Amino acid sequence: MDTLNCPHCGAELPLSFRFAKLVVCPHCGSTIFLEDDAARLAGDQSALTELPSLVRLKVAFRYRNAAYLPVGHIRYRYAFGYWDEWWLLDDGGQGVWLSVDEGDYAFEHPLRLDAPPDFHALKINDELELDGREWRVTELDKARCEGFEGELPEIIRVGETFRYAHLSGIDGELMTLEYVGNGVQAYAGKWVDPFDVRIEA
């Protein structure tokens, strides 16, 4: 599935990666769910307010020796403001998340946890072992999706909320636990230096 047509305006929807689950039409702003070889209109999507950002949709950048192309973007509101999640494709076509929060950058990959902790059992500065490593709880809060654009590997809706926990490990390692409905989605990664991010000409 290389291209589909928007079911609202009919414009062609070029897709950057074959496992996209959701795409925002760049022509009319409609949110479209992708199901097998079909596109289903999910409604209008609220436009994101443009904020200053080094990372931009469909503008490639390099981090150290690897190249990345941002193809999707989600903005979340939480108690201290906003943060942005960028869905990136590396030069091998594999996906990775980049979190940007007030100038702090972190790459994160999905992680399978057999026994994630209950959110309500966690407290700030708690120490626990997950995935064979030691972690400390550094943040507990609730997030709300403010909007999104581009192509994303999962279904999300404007206004959707979830609780989350941020855990810190050694040498800049981090883990994020997102409590969505009755499930827990885990992501593990590392903080990176934004000064090592270079936009490709």
Q: Considering the domain boundaries, does residue 56 fall inside one? A: no
Both 125 and 166 in one domain: the answer is yes
Q: Considering the domain boundaries, does residue 27 fall inside one? A: yes
Both 191 and 100 in one domain: the answer is yes
Both 101 and 150 in one domain: the answer is yes
CB 15, CB 1: distance < 8 Å? yes
Q: Considering the domain boundaries, does residue 49 fall inside one? A: no
Both 106 and 39 in one domain: the answer is no
Range of the domain at 28: 3-44
At residue 1, the pLDDT reads 45
At residue 168, the pLDDT reads 96
Using CA atoms of 22, 162, 82, 94 in order, give the dihedral in degrees to the nearest 10.
Answer: -40
At residue 41, the pLDDT reads 46
Q: Considering the domain boundaries, does residue 57 fall inside one? A: no
Q: Considering the domain boundaries, does residue 147 fall inside one? A: yes
Both 116 and 17 in one domain: the answer is no
Q: Considering the domain boundaries, does residue 168 fall inside one? A: yes
Of the candidates 144, 159, 157, 149, the one whose C-alpha atom is nearest the C-alpha of residue 56 is 149
Both 11 and 84 in one domain: the answer is no
Q: Considering the domain boundaries, does residue 61 fall inside one? A: no
Q: Considering the domain boundaries, does residue 187 fall inside one? A: yes
Both 37 and 90 in one domain: the answer is no
At residue 153, the pLDDT reads 87
Residue ranges of the chain whose pLDDT lies below 50: 1, 41
Non-local CB neighbours of 81 within 8 Å, separated by 6+ positions: 102
Rg (CA), the chain: 17
Total domains present in the chain: 2
3-state secondary structure of 120: helix
Both 28 and 97 in one domain: the answer is no
